[in-house]
Amino acid sequence: MELHVVINGRKDLAGQLYQQLRAAIETGRLAAGTQLPPSRLLAEQLGISRKTISDTYSQLTYENFLTGVTGKGTYVNARPAKIQRKQSHSELASSEVIESWRNLPVFLRHPTLQGSLRYDFIGGATSKGQFPQDDWRRCTSHALRQIAGSKGFYSLAEGLPALRNAIARHIAFSRGVNCQDEDVVVCNGAQQALDLIGRVLIRPGSLVAMEDPGYPPARLLFGSHGATVVGVPVDAEGIQVDLIPHGTRLIYVTPSHQFPLGMPMSQARRVALLARAHELGAIIIEDDYDSEFRYEGRPTDSLQSMDERGIVAYVGTFSKTLLPELRLGYTILPPAILEAVIRAKQLTDLHTSTLPQWALAKFIAEGCLLKHIRRCHTIYAGRRERILARIAGDLAPWLEAVPTTAGFHMVVLCKVPIDIPLVIELAKKVEVGLYAIDSFYYQQAPRAGLFFGFGAIETLDIDTALDRLRDILQQVS
Is residue 1's pLDDT more than 60? no
Beta bridge partner(s), residue 409 = 453
Report pLDDT digits (tens) over 375-395: 999 999 999 999 999 999 999
Q: How far apart are CA 205 and CA 223, in angstroms?
A: 9
Is residue 115's pLDDT more than 60? no
170 backbone dihedrals φ, ψ, rounded to 5°: -65, -50
Among candidate residues 235, 367, 374, 351, the one with its CA nearest the CA of residue 293: 374
For 289, what's the count of Cα atoms within 13 Å in the CB-facing half-sphere?
28
Task: Give all domains of the chain, ordered by start, each with its CATH number.
Answer: 13-76 (1.10.10.10), 119-129+371-476 (3.90.1150.10), 132-366 (3.40.640.10)
Q: How far apart are CA 176 and CA 292, in angstroms?
A: 12
Q: How far apart are CA 410 and CA 454, in angstroms?
A: 8
Please give the mean pLDDT across all residues of the chain.
91
228 backbone dihedrals φ, ψ, rounded to 5°: -95, 110
pLDDT confidence of residue 431: 94
Among candidate residues 115, 195, 200, 7, the one with its CA nearest the CA of residue 428: 115
pLDDT grade, residue 83 (50/70/90)? low
Q: Tell me the C-alpha to C-alpha distance, in Å, between residue 332 and each of 117, 305, 366, 379, 419.
A: 37, 11, 22, 29, 43
Share of the chain above pLDDT 90, in %: 66
Q: How far apart are CA 28 and CA 221, in angstroms?
A: 41
Q: What is the mean pLDDT of residues 152-177?
A: 94
pTM of the predicted structure, to 2 decimals: 0.82
Maximum mean pLDDT: which of 26-35, 100-109, 408-417? 408-417
Among candidate residues 352, 369, 333, the one with its CA nearest the CA of residue 159: 352
Q: How far apart are CA 213 and CA 413, in angstroms?
A: 14
pLDDT confidence of residue 308: 94
